[in-house]
Amino acid sequence: MRNLDKTFHEFKLLRINDRKKIETRLTFEFPKTLQQEQHLLFQRDLSIDDEETKEDRVKVLEITSDTAFLYECVTSSGERTRIEFVKRLSRLPVNLAEFDAYNLYCLFSPDMKEYIDVDTQKKRFVVRNTESGSTTLQIPDDWL
Its pTM stands at 0.75
Q: What is the pLDDT of residues 51-77, one digit of tens each?
A: 565 678 888 888 877 678 899 888 877
Classify residue 18 by burial, with Cβ atoms within 10 Å: 0-12, 13-18, 19+. exposed
**The pairing of beta strand 6-18 with beta strand 68-76:** unpaired
Query: 77: alpha, beta or left, given left = phi > 0 and alpha = psi -120 to 50?
Result: beta
Distance CA 96, CA 86 (A): 24
Q: What does the mean pLDDT of the chain come to?
A: 81
- Whether 38 shows a pLDDT value over 60: the answer reads yes
CA 12 from chain center: how many Å?
A: 16
Decide if pLDDT at 2 tops 60: no
| Domain extents in the chain | 6-143
Over residues 25-37, the pLDDT tens digits come to 888 888 887 777 8
